[in-house]
Amino acid sequence: MKGEELLNRHLDMVDEEIKKVFESRTHPAQLYDMMKYHLGWLDEDLKKVEQYRGKRFRPTLCLLVYNAISGVYDKALPAAAAIELIHNFSLIHDDIEDMDEERRHKATVWKLWGISQAINVGDGMHVMANLAALRMADQGVTSEKVVEVLRILNETIITLCEGQYLDMSFEDRLDITLDMYLDMIRRKTAALVEASTWIGATLATEDASKVNNFRGFGRNIGLAFQIIDDIIGIWEKAEQTGKPKASDVRNRKKTLPILFALEKAKESDRKTLKELYSRPRLTDEDVEKVLSILESSGAYEFSKKMAEDYERTALQELAETGIENEAIADIKALAEFLIRRKY
């Protein structure tokens, strides 16, 4: 598939850049090796390994946007590396916060080395992101731009923390509105995709309206991406996701389709759904009941349409840049891949 091939083509470029940040620090080795494990470079015994490393789609977007405007990649590499490191630092900490024992079919850092080490490994990865970004200065990016990009990156990280706070604070509540949910995913998920295209454009041009269009593309495709994730978590076939059927329902996650039903289903269904979601654990039968409420409320159609709306807005923003070249075609193919994926 075009999108997958595209990602593979950029993956090594991103990882080579990240490796340069690691080269400057080597002691104590195990701290950095635990980070490398999380990045998919080392196995549990901290030996080198060839395995799935994640999609690296955020840095790829950053590189493609920079390339679409400038025709090259070079100056965007440090920021692309920084974006991937921010994503991974937040995953390491999220895994502790959510007590997730597996990520990308491997044990999480806290599961292997304990919570204390994992907090510190995440903190280290957070710093590595800023150190990666500071390498821009060595790539001939002006200090003014370095400061501008660092400001975007750090405003984005605090926005991620805001989203994570909101997500955790929603856990024990059944009064979350769709608007509250959209505000949360805008911060927790879309902000970093937005930063990827925003920074790619900021590094390549002084044209504020183009920068804004690319930024808008990132934000909207990020929102669509999260909603697709929500749909997959409920309706995608288990053989595609590698997780149990309707795993998000089973874990009583309050994603978009559920919140839609809690707000818009007929009253008796809303009541049943609330009652089911108040239980500590859902049986297979409960899960089926939730799925049938979602179906009769039209939650799937609603969510699908919302994702498509965000995707359409994203593509409009992209068209408004007025740029047409191979990199733009790649960005479209990547967006298509992220939205049509089944896992």
In the set 7, 81, 146, 273, which binds a second copy (CB under 8 A)? 146
Mask of contacts with a second copy, 21-40, x by CB under 8 A?
A: ----x-xx-xx---------
What pairing do the DSSP bridges indicate for beta strands 106-107 and 102-103? antiparallel
CB nearer a second copy, residue 122 or residue 216: 122
Q: Alpha-carbon torsion 7, 93, 184, 200, what sign? A: negative
CB nearer a second copy, residue 155 or residue 284: 155
Helix (H) or strand (E) holding 327: helix 326-340
Helix (H) or strand (E) holding 297: helix 284-297
Binding part of the chain for a second copy, among 114-122, 192-200, 283-291, 321-329 by CB under 8 A, reads: 114-122
Applying CB under 8 A, does 263 fall inside the site for a second copy?
Answer: no
Applying CB under 8 A, does 138 fall inside the site for a second copy?
Answer: no
Which residue matches tokens 């920021």?
79
The CA–CA distances, whole Å, from 264 to 8, 101, 171, 260, 287 equal 41, 34, 20, 6, 19
Nearest to 82 by CA among 136, 119, 28: 136
In the set 72, 115, 208, 238, which binds a second copy (CB under 8 A)? 115
Which residue matches tokens 């807005």?
313
Site for a second copy in 153-192 (CB under 8 A): 154-155, 157-158, 161-162, 164-166, 168-169
Applying CB under 8 A, does 151 fall inside the site for a second copy?
Answer: yes
Applying CB under 8 A, does 97 fall inside the site for a second copy?
Answer: yes
Q: Three-class SS of residue 253?
A: coil
Q: Cis omega (within 30 of 0) on the bond before 244?
A: no
CB of 124 to a second copy, least distance (A): 4
Can you tell me the distance from the alpha carbon of 112 to that of 95, in angstroms, rounded to the nearest whole number?
A: 12
Residues that bind a second copy (CB under 8 A): 25, 27-28, 30-31, 90, 93, 96-98, 115-117, 119-120, 122-124, 126-128, 130-131, 134, 137, 142-144, 146-147, 150-151, 154-155, 157-158, 161-162, 164-166, 168-169
